[in-house]
């Protein structure tokens, strides 16, 4: 990823708006969605950071606002930003692996639908040439984007420096992962300071 002009041509903005409209009208996996389709994402040609998470939960599905939940609060704390810059698509593109709430499984939400990322990530990325950092939040994003990921999420996040400068793997900031955070203090000690410094640099 290379740093490009921060002010893309008007046609790039128009193309992105048209693509987002097309994505928000997507019905590819409608038959598999318990609450129906409601694609939630945010992107702009000027974006410098892309956040790739899993899929919306029920709260985000209802509000249509990405990361509008306790996981989002923790993620913003990790980044060192508040809601105003976080929701500025010129700074942060928010492009999950699955754009719609996938439904409830036996132990939490189901995995993101597999149709979304292959269908929509490539055209979105093609319209964001200035991306400097992609945050891969959780195992599904890491499995999709990292060819040389490690045997599990913990090992992949521990090897975070191997994926720089383009990618930074992160655990999911869900409250369900409190035990992981306690068992892996190196994450807060080493990864988060780098993350905040890099965000302050590229998402200003």
What pLDDT, on the 0 to 100 scale, is given for residue 106? 84
> In the chain, where are the structural domains located?
10-202
Q: Which residues contact 159 (CB under 8 A, 6 or more apart)?
A: 150, 169
For the chain (204 residues), the mean pLDDT of every run of 10, in chain order, is: 60 96 97 96 98 96 96 98 97 98 90 97 97 98 97 98 98 96 98 98 90
Cβ proximity of 80 and 200 under 8 Å: yes
What pLDDT, on the 0 to 100 scale, is given for residue 69? 95
What pLDDT, on the 0 to 100 scale, is given for residue 1? 63
Integer Cα distance of 134 and 203 in angstroms: 12
CA distances from 32 to 20, 29, 36, 124 (A): 22, 6, 8, 24
What pLDDT, on the 0 to 100 scale, is given for residue 125? 98
Cβ proximity of 129 and 135 under 8 Å: no
CATH number for the segment(s) 10-202: 3.40.470.10
Angle at 71 between CA 67 and CA 73, to 5 degrees: 80
Length of the chain: 204
What pLDDT, on the 0 to 100 scale, is given for residue 105? 87
């Amino acid at each position: 990823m290379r740093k490009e002009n921060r002010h893309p041509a008007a046609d790039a903005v128009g193309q992105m708006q048209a693509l987002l409209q097309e994505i928000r009208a997507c019905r590819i996996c409608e038959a598999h969605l318990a609450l129906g389709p409601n694609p939630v994402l945010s992107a702009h040609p000027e974006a410098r950071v892309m956040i790739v998470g899993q899929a919306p939960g029920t709260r985000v599905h209802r509000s249509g606002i990405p990361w509008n939940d306790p996981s989002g609060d923790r993620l913003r704390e990790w980044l060192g930003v508040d809601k105003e810059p976080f929701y500025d698509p010129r700074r942060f593109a928010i492009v999950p692996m699955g754009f719609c709430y996938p439904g409830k499984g036996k132990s939490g939400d189901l995995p993101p639908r597999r149709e979304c990322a292959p269908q929509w990530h490539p055209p979105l990325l093609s319209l964001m040439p200035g991306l400097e950092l992609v945050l891969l939040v959780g195992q599904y994003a890491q499995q999709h984007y990292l060819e040389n990921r490690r045997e599990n999420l913990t090992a992949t996040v521990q090897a975070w420096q191997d994926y720089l400068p383009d990618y930074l793997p992160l655990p999911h900031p869900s409250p369900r992962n409190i035990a992981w955070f306690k068992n892996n203090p190196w994450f807060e000690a080493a990864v988060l300071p780098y993350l905040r410094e890099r965000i302050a640099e590229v998402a200003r």
